[in-house]
Structures are given as C-alpha cells and as structure tokens.
Amino acid sequence: MRQSVKTIAIMLAAILVTLGLSESAGAGVISTEAAIEMQERSARIQRINSVLARDSVQSQMIRLGVQPDVAAARIASLSDSELQQLEARMDELPAGADSALTVLGIVLLVLLVLELVGVTDVFKSF
Amino acid sequence: MKMLRCTAGIAVATVLCGCATDPFRDLTSRSVPEAIELDRTPFFPQQEYQCGPAALATVLVASGVSVHPDELTPKIYLPERQGSLQPELLAASREHGRIPYVIPPEFPALLAEVSRGRPVLVLQNLGVKLAPTWHYAVVVGFSVERREVILRSGTDERRVTRAGVFANTWRRGGNWGVVALAPGELPATDDSAGYLRAIAAAEAAGRAELSEPSYAAAVKRWPDSSLAWLGLGNSAYARGEPAAAEQMYRRALKADSENAVVLNNLASAVADLGRCSEARELLLTATDLPDLHAPVRELLRQSQTELDACQ
C-alpha cells in the first residue's frame, strides 16, 4: 500500500475504530486536520506513518522518565500534528518549569541589569 | 569617577531600554475595557517545576472543569526535562472536555480574551534567548492606564507586571497563549483559522464530543468557511451518516467550489449512498483543478482506484 493511502487508511481506521463502525466501500475521507495542512500550502501531507510516530514519541517519553503505561495514555490524546511536533523536538521544545533562577556568575550580573531595565522578569520583588 | 559610572549606567540603560515596548500603544479597539481583573480565577500555588499543571488547572477550573494540578502532573510533566511541553498541555485540556484554542500571537488578542472573561495561559521566557527560563503563567487582568498586566504566576496569586516587561517575556515565548473553550464556545476575535485548527486537532484526537458542537458553532459564525463545513461533513461521515455528510460537503463547495479535498470527501459520501458514477464525476472535477499539489493528486488518484469497487 502506498504511504499516502496508508495515512488516510490509518486516519479513517482510527476514526472508525473509535466509533465502532464497519468500513465502507467509499473513496476514503481526508481528515480536516490534513485539509488544513494542505490549505496552508505545506506541500507535504503527513507522510509520517502515524503508527511509527506514536512509537517514537512513546519511547522518548519513557526515556524522559514517564512510566510506559502512562506514556501510552498520553500519546493517545495527541493530535497527529502534535505528535509530529513532539517526535521531532522533544528534547528542545520549551519545558515550562518555574521561575527559579538557573544561571550563575557573570551571567547573573548581566541578568541583573536586564531585569532593572525591564527586559527580563526573573526576580520576584522588582 | 562617580559621574562616569553614572553616565555609563545611563548609556547602558538607554540602549537596553530600547527593547522595552509599550504593547498598549497601538490599541485601537474600544471593546477592550480600561481595566479588568478576573479575580474569581482560582489560584494553585505551583510546586517545584510544576508551573504547567498549576497553570493548566487554573484555566480549566476557570472554564468550569473540576480538576486539581496533581491530576494533571502525570499527564504533562516530563521528569528528565523538569517541565511540561506545550503540545501535551493541549492534549490534556481535551481530556478534560475543553478545546485548547491557541490565540493569535498578538497582544490585542490576549486582551480580547481576558475582556471576554477568559484567563489566558501563556508561555514566558523569563530569561534571555541564550539562557532561557521557561515558565507558564495565567493572565487574569490588565490596566491600560497603569500599563500593567496581572498574572497568576508560580507562587504569586497576583503578580503585577509592567506591560512592556510582560510583552518582552511573552514575545520570547513566541507570543504563545491558550484559552480553554467549552464545546461550541467561540473565540473573542475573528480568528476562524485558529479556531478551526483547534477543533480539527480535537477531531483528530478522536474527541467528536468536542469537535462536532464546535464545528456547528463555527458554521453559524462563519457560514462562508468551506473548512468549517468540511469539518462538519467529516464529523457526519465519521458517525456513519453519508447523507448528512453530503449536505455539509455541498455547503462547503458552495463556499469554495474548487476545493479538491471537499470534492474527494463528497465523492466518498456519494459512493456510500450507491451513486457511483456521480462519485467518479466528482473526482474527475477534482483532478481537473489547476494548481493541485502532488500529494493531493496522489490522494485523488487513489480514491479513483478505490471507486473501481463501486457498483
């Protein structure tokens, strides 16, 4: 089966499985999310086999300390485009943590100046 | 010596002050009040590294969901990254019955949502680009006159920040803000593209109970949006109702008669209803459209092959 067909088939199958329907003999249906991607002129549709993407993201989550069964549940809630974002950049995406200062030394001095003139907002009482 | 130091200080400050902006400066909308504070927004003081769960719980509870940060931590926190990632915040919102709508990345959009009574979850870089300190907080108010933005942030129930400072930290987070919308609840701005993107993600995550009422609201608000009608049509098709889907797809075509995706999906619905030659015609119309991207052409070709089975 060609990649594009597999993608549609998986998307359609996913919908059908969710709703417990049997497959129809129709021409296949292109998901709204895929349509948005096309409309925004991204010439690639989601060629990534979403099954592979799920496996990859799940492994990465486990490596980052998430329990396997929990990881599986978290994957299930993600949309296809969110899966893609995570697959490519899980190690680099911003991880919102807290407002604690994490830099030291000379960088601290620079930050102090920046804080005073309103560029940064790391310190509480200013 | 003292004077030199002072001058140098001022020089530095002047150079750096050029970075501080006044995000209220270009505000023209009169639908934004002079000042507002959503003081009924709950406060969940965050635990270490847990600003994600705290911030997300804040906006979810404000939108009528009953949830505590501790329930969200296992859904979004990544131990080795010591934080939470944006896509997972969105996914967890849907789990709790809300559509996470990412607002347009502009200060006026932020103000519009708060003015509508909806607190906005924002990503801030409290540090600098090379040494970022990522943080999630919730905007609950502002004052135009005092040039202030009010946040629930970390362990501060009311963190009042100068608007220029906030704008800098928000800009370095890509001006990313999210609002938790109930199914069928519309955004404060005329952002059909962003709203439909949010609904389509919910649909793709299998949350028809969120996406269907929202597509229905979208077609009422933007009756000329082919994408909204496509979404409604896809929802009907997924429910196993090709006749209803056909109606929606035809409305989509009325709004955009040269839409290959709609033609493809309409062909599917019509084939399911036993009208095989009509389906083939629709696909031919689609393949005849100018400027088709290669992937779309490929999909149409495959659809045509599958129609061979249609009697």
Tell me whether residues A16 and B202 touch, CB distance under 8 A: no
Complex ipTM value: 0.73
Residue extents of the structural domains in chain B = 21-181, 223-309
Which residue of A27, A31, A96 is in closest CB contact with B134?
A96
Tell me whether residues A43 and B200 touch, CB distance under 8 A: no
Instruction: Please report, in angstroms and rounded to a whole number, the separation of the first and last CA atoms in chain B.
Output: 94
Q: Is B82 at the interface with chain A, CB within 8 A?
A: yes
Single-letter code of the amino acid located at A10? I
Which residue of B84, B91, B202 is in closest CB contact with A96?
B84
Q: How many angstroms separate the CA atoms of A28 and B268, rounded?
A: 6
- Closest chain A residue to the Cα of B265, Cα to Cα: A29
Q: Which two tokens stand for residue B49?
A: 């590294």
Does 3.90.70.10 match the CATH number of domain B21-181? yes
Beta strands in B31-133 (DSSP E): 35-37, 77-78, 83-85, 99-102, 120-125
Q: B187, B264, B200: which is closest to B227 by C-alpha?
A: B200
Tell me whether residues B48 and A15 touch, CB distance under 8 A: no
What is B223-309's CATH superfamily?
Tetratricopeptide repeat domain (1.25.40.10)
Q: Interhelix angle for B242-255 vs B260-272, to 10°?
A: 160
pLDDT in 10s for each residue of chain B, 311 residues: 343 334 344 444 444 444 567 899 877 766 789 999 999 999 999 887 789 999 999 999 999 999 999 999 999 999 988 899 999 999 999 999 999 999 999 999 999 999 999 999 999 998 888 878 899 999 999 999 999 999 999 999 999 999 999 999 999 999 999 999 999 999 999 999 999 999 999 998 889 999 999 999 999 999 999 999 999 999 999 999 999 999 999 999 999 999 999 999 999 999 999 999 999 999 999 999 988 877 788 889 989 998 888 87
Q: How many CB atoms lie within 10 A of CB B88?
A: 26
Which residue of B52, B83, B295 is in closest CB contact with A4?
B295
Q: How many CB atoms lie within 10 A of CB B154?
A: 21
Residue extents of the structural domains in chain A = 1-47, 49-95, 100-126
Task: Indicate the helix (H) or strand (E) that contains B136.
Answer: strand B134-143
Q: How many angstroms separate the CA atoms of B196 and A32, rounded?
A: 9
Q: Which residues of B touch A31 (CB under 8 A)?
A: 200, 203-204, 234
